[in-house]
Amino acid sequence: MTTSTTFLGLGAMGSALAAATLDAGDRVTVWNRSPERARDLGARGARVAGTVAEAVADDGVIVACLFDHRSVHDVLDPVITRLSGRTVVNLTTSTPDEARELATWADKHGVTYLDGAIMAVPEMIGGPASALFYSGSESAFTDHRDLLDRWGTSTWFGPDAGLASLYDLAMLTGMYTMFAGFLHGAAMVGTAGVPAAEFAARQAPFLAAMTEQLAELAATVDAREYTGPDQQSLRFTDTALSALRRASTDQGVADDLLVPVHDLVRRQIAAGFGAHGTARMFEGLRSSR
């Protein structure tokens, strides 16, 4: 049971995490580079530390929710020698290799390191739709599960500290390309005077229905078997993408977003796989690492 938790970084997300922890009745210490951001949490009962050294003087878990990997080092490097034997949960968005670097660095200094990725926006923290992914120290995950569960559903992916981040950034790839695709579509119908809001009302249920195909796509990719009878062929998709690009440029909408997708399809066709399923695009994306 965690009795005192230190939060380093009180941006939108760090403040939400600290507030949810306070709401649960835990003792909380907070620090932020710009002190004014700590005021509200202080008024709600958090102990406000004037320096990082003061903030980590408590005995509990240290939660970092800072801007980026660099800022985690900026904040923790000066106090690292004091952190031996302590647990750091880093919820700052990092790349997998950045998370691994922090895990190695923490280990070198006798610090237990758990890397986390937040699949939520600040308003969702503590609510039913909030999910957090973790990797790194298993004992940190299990020993502090009560604390972690204050913020959302917690899942530990394994001892490789980079895994949570890998999942996070892979999922965000889907999100960003979906948002960009929606904006492209809104620009297309916008040329006919259709408001984006009207388009969104039709696009959202369509995209939701399309996500039902993900499991089937995944089974195809996992089996690496692209010749099943129900698969939409690369040639079919080539024709469809050509039409999308023509329609876009005819309307004066740049087809930039579609070009890399079309290139992936065309490269597989050029390699002799035109009759194979469109999921074969995965072969053009697979890592050679």
Q: Which of 47, 67, 131, 189 binds ligand NDP (CB under 6 A)?
A: 67
Stretch that binds ligand NDP, among 118-126, 207-215, 236-244, 245-253 (CB under 6 A): 118-126
Quickly count: other Cβ atoms within 10 Å of residue 130's Cβ: 20
Q: How far is CA 270 from CA 26, 238, 254, 284, in A?
A: 61, 11, 25, 12
122 binds ligand NDP (CB under 6 A): yes
167 binds ligand NDP (CB under 6 A): no
21 binds ligand NDP (CB under 6 A): no
Q: Which of 24, 27, 40, 74 binds ligand NDP (CB under 6 A)?
A: 74
Do residues 133 and 157 touch, judged by C-beta distance below 8 A?
Answer: yes
164 binds ligand NDP (CB under 6 A): no
Q: Which of 2, 7, 14, 56 binds ligand NDP (CB under 6 A)?
A: 14
Q: Which amino acid is at 13?
A: M
153 binds ligand NDP (CB under 6 A): no
Quickly count: other Cβ atoms within 10 Å of residue 188's Cβ: 18
Residue in this structure with the two tokens 């031996």, named with its chain if needed: 84
Closest Cα to residue 73, out of 106, 46, 107, 95? 106
Q: From its phi and psi, is residue 84 left (phi > 0), alpha (psi between -120 and 50) or beta?
A: beta
Do residues 72 and 92 touch, judged by C-beta distance below 8 A?
Answer: yes
Q: From its phi and psi, is residue 221 left (phi > 0), alpha (psi between -120 and 50) or beta?
A: alpha
- Please give the Cα distance from 209 to 211 (Å, whole number): 5
90 binds ligand NDP (CB under 6 A): no
CB of 75 to ligand NDP, least distance (A): 5
89 binds ligand NDP (CB under 6 A): no
- Please give the Cα distance from 46 to 201 (Å, whole number): 42
Nearest residue to the partner ligand NDP, using Cβ: 11
CB of 117 to ligand NDP, least distance (A): 7
66 binds ligand NDP (CB under 6 A): yes
95 binds ligand NDP (CB under 6 A): no
In the shown chain, the binding pattern of residues 26 to 55 toward ligand NDP, with x for contact by CB under 6 A and - for none, equals ------xxx--x------------------
9 binds ligand NDP (CB under 6 A): yes
CB of 16 to ligand NDP, least distance (A): 8
Q: How far is CA 57 from CA 24, 112, 197, in A?
A: 22, 16, 51
> What are the tokens at 268?
């597989």
Residues at the site binding ligand NDP, with contacts judged by CB under 6 A: 9-14, 32-34, 37, 65-67, 71, 74-75, 92-93, 118, 121-122
